[in-house]
């Protein structure tokens, strides 16, 4: 059932052509960054991880809005459970972003764009970080879809602000108050991941692992809140329709 639902959602999205802009953004951004060589490995991965975060948030918003909820009730009935439908939506768009994460990490390796041979640990850290950032972007975008905010102009603007604040999180710790250092971790930890990539040589394996794990956990908490909220929101709507 889940596999069939994912295939249907993917086919429905590709027929809408709303995928073109965010996917083009991610592909062109990566290719443009590596338009010359040589490039430093982890610094370049820091930039492409940000591209993936922004592009995935854009992709997630477009995916969840591509039919403006016209098929939602029908698909929930056929899938048998609202939670299954919303989870299938998330998995579908996540699979796309995971695919583009592989492209962003492997493209410079395949075409020899780095200034030195890449090690397995750098490749693993790069891919895990890109997947974490892409899932984080999608997890944020679900709260700005049409079902949550009918004014999509305002939703897109608010999502853009969240993206900017997330990117600027690490710069906040430059202020004098030491307790502000926790803010980048309370915000979507994009700046924390960027800092890890740019100072990977100075970080211990434990710090790298904890930073990656924290980014995944942050995204999964957002996903859990979304699934719980969306399922309850849908149940309330069905009750009103039934009367």
The full DSSP string for 163-196 is HHHHHTHHHHTTSS-GGGGGHHHHS-THHHHHHH
Structural contact between residues 129 and 49, judged by C-beta atoms closer than 8 angstroms: yes
| Longest CA–CA separation in the chain, Å | 66
- Residue-level pLDDT at 18: 82
pLDDT-derived band at 119 (thresholds 50, 70, 90) equals very high
Q: Which of 127, 144, 155, 143 is nearest to 216 (CA)?
A: 127
- Residue-level pLDDT at 243: 43
- Residue-level pLDDT at 135: 94
The DSSP symbol for 114 reads B
Helices (H), strands (E): how many in the chain? 11, 0
SS3 203: coil
pLDDT-derived band at 241 (thresholds 50, 70, 90) equals very low
- Classify each residue of 44-58 as buried b or exposed e, where b means 16 or more C-beta atoms within 10 Å of its C-beta: bbbbbbbbbbbbbbb
Taking all residues of the chain, what is their mean pLDDT, rounded to a whole number?
A: 87
Q: Please state, as a whole number, how many other Cβ atoms lie within 10 Å of the Cβ of residue 101.
A: 25
With vertex at residue 215, the alpha carbon angle to CA 110 and CA 129, rounded to the nearest 5 degrees, is 10
The region of weakest confidence among 58-67, 80-89, 122-131, 169-178 is: 169-178
Q: Which of 145, 147, 103 is nearest to 126 (CA)?
A: 103
Task: Give the H/E segment covering residue 151.
Answer: none
196 Cβ partners below 8 Å, 6+ apart? 129, 203, 207, 208, 211, 212
Residues 20-23: contacts with CB under 8 Å, at least 24 apart: 21/58, 21/62, 22/55, 22/56, 22/58, 22/59, 22/62, 23/55, 23/59, 23/96, 23/100
Structure tokens belonging to residue 123 = 């490749």
For residue 148, is pLDDT > 80? yes
Structural contact between residues 64 and 147, judged by C-beta atoms closer than 8 angstroms: yes
Q: What is the pLDDT of residues 183-223, one digit of tens each?
A: 888 889 999 999 999 998 888 999 999 999 999 999 999 99
Preceding amide of 38 cis, omega within 30: yes
Structure tokens belonging to residue 230 = 């969306």
For residue 68, is pLDDT > 70? no
Q: Which of 133, 150, 108 is nearest to 219 (CA)?
A: 133
For residue 242, is pLDDT > 50? no
Q: Please tell me the distance from the alpha carbon of residue 77 to that of residue 57, in angstroms, as a whole number.
A: 28
């Amino acid at each position: 059932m889940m596999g069939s639902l994912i295939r249907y959602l993917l086919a429905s999205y590709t027929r809408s052509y709303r995928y073109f802009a965010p996917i083009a953004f991610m592909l062109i951004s990566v290719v443009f960054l590596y338009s010359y060589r040589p490039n430093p490995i982890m610094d370049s991965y820091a930039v492409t991880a940000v591209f993936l975060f922004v592009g995935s948030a854009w992709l997630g918003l477009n995916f969840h809005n591509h039919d403006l909820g016209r098929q939602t009730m029908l698909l929930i009935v056929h899938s048998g459970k609202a939670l299954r439908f919303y989870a299938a939506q998330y998995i579908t768009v996540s699979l796309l972003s995971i695919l583009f994460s592989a492209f962003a990490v492997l493209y410079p390796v395949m075409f020899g764009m780095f200034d030195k041979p890449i090690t397995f640990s750098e490749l693993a850290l790069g891919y895990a970080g890109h997947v974490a950032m892409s899932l984080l972007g999608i997890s944020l975008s679900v709260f700005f879809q049409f079902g949550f905010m009918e004014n999509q102009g305002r939703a897109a603007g608010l999502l853009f602000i969240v993206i900017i604040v997330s990117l600027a999180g690490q710069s906040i710790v430059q202020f004098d108050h030491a307790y502000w250092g926790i803010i980048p971790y309370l915000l979507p930890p994009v700046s924390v991941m960027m800092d890890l990539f740019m100072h990977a040589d100075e970080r211990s394996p434990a710090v790298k692992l904890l930073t990656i794990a924290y980014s995944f956990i942050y995204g999964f908490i957002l996903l859990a809140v979304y699934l719980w909220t969306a399922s309850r929101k849908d149940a309330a709507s069905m009750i009103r329709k039934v009367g």
